Structure 1
Amino acid sequence: MSVSTIWLGIGFLGQALFTSRFLVQWIVSERRGESVVPLAFWWFSLAGGLTLLSYAIWRQDPVFILGQATGLVVYVRNLILIKRRRGMASS
């Protein structure tokens, strides 16, 4: 198996993780009967974003790198805000 094939697999894995976040959001929203962004959405976003950023760096694609790196800031910030809110709620 070539290095290119392995990286292609990593790219597809990242895309699958990233797509899964929408499926999770849709399923949770349908079950609750309202639009919801569950915690898992942000974790799938982070995992998919990191995997896709790795792939973009390997491809040396500056547009793809910038897009994924920017998204990671948003995903991490949302996870921090959620953790902070939950910490305040338990106080």
Structure 2
Amino acid sequence: MNEELLWLDWTGLHVTPWKLIGYVGALMFGARWLVQFVASRRKGRPVIPRLFWYMSIVGSLMLLSYFGFSAKQDSVGVLQNLFPTFAALYSLRLDIKHRGWDKTRADHGMSPTVGEEPEPLPERH
């Protein structure tokens, strides 16, 4: 996996399969913010769609594998991606627990969208 990919030689880059995994992981991890931005623009308020957490997990795992198993074997990169992996897994677990697998349910307890009735607040005694 540390041999150069000759079919990418035309790019002028020296790319190995591990580097390709690292590039895709970095793109996945960075692109999740674009997904969050688009979802928030559509709703007119800050939201974090479930796809954000999936992209966080996949991107983090790809980067962890790159930093851990490639010729680079960079412990700083491993540490840098360990916490986001666990945080994203936990957040996805909470999201599924809160909304279930039905993505049409209310977003993370945020205020309702225009035209929806808010849920009544519990009475205090």
TM more than 0.5: yes
3-state DSSP of counterpart to 1:36: coil
Q: Which runs of 5+ in 1 are unaligned?
A: none
1:34 aligns with 2:35: no
Q: Please, which runs of 5 or more residues in structure 2 have no aligned partner?
A: 5-14, 106-125
Larger radius of gyration: 2
TM-score by length of 2: 0.65
Q: Deviation above 3 Å: which 4+ runs of structure 1?
A: none
Map of 1:72 onto structure 2 = 85
What secondary structure sits across from 2:36 in the alignment? helix
Aligned to 1:54: 65
1:18 and 2:19 aligned:
no
**1:24-47 residue CA offsets vs partner (Å, 9 max, x unmatched):** 001111111111111110000001
3-state SS of paired residue (1:11): helix
After superposition, what is the alpha-carbon deviation per residue over 1:37-91, rounded to whole angstroms, capped at 9, x for unaligned?
111100000010000100010221111101111111101000111111124xx9x
Moved more, 3-12 or 58-67: 3-12
Question: Structure 1 length as normaliser, TM-score?
Answer: 0.87
Check if 1:83 corresponds to 2:103: no
Report the aligned-residue RMSD.
Answer: 2.1
- Where is the helix percentage greater, Structure 1 or Structure 2? 1
Give the fraction of aligned pairs with identical amino acids, expressed as a percent.
Answer: 36
Q: How many residues were matched structurally?
A: 89
